[in-house]
Amino acid sequence: MKRERTSLLRVALSSMKRNTRFKSLVQKFASYISDSLTSWKKLKPLLPKEQELNSDLARTMAEIESAIQNKNFDKAEKLHEIADDIERMLAVEGEERG
């Protein structure tokens, strides 16, 4: 009977230690995520604003038209990819505004 109690006590203590380690790992991970989000938020002001993106998009579209008129289709294709990237950034900016 005493052995069974000792065995149960060991199992319970082992379980508690694992639980404590798990909680510690979760807390460390949560702290890491929180720090990462804080870092990303600090970088946000460095990103171009909607007005800048619209200006860049208009300039890029004009360059695409010019490249097409000059029959420089490789340049037009590369500029089109840039325009797509700018449009994606504008979409993200719009989603964040609500």
pTM: 0.56
pLDDT at 73: 96
CB atoms within 10 A of CB 79: 21
Same domain, 69 and 41: no
Measured between its terminal Cα atoms, the distance across the chain in Å is: 66
| Residue 93: pLDDT band with limits 50, 70, 90 | confident
What's the domain range around 58?
A: 47-98
Number of domains, the chain: 2
More confident residue, 59 or 45: 59
Same domain, 55 and 89: yes
Same domain, 38 and 4: yes
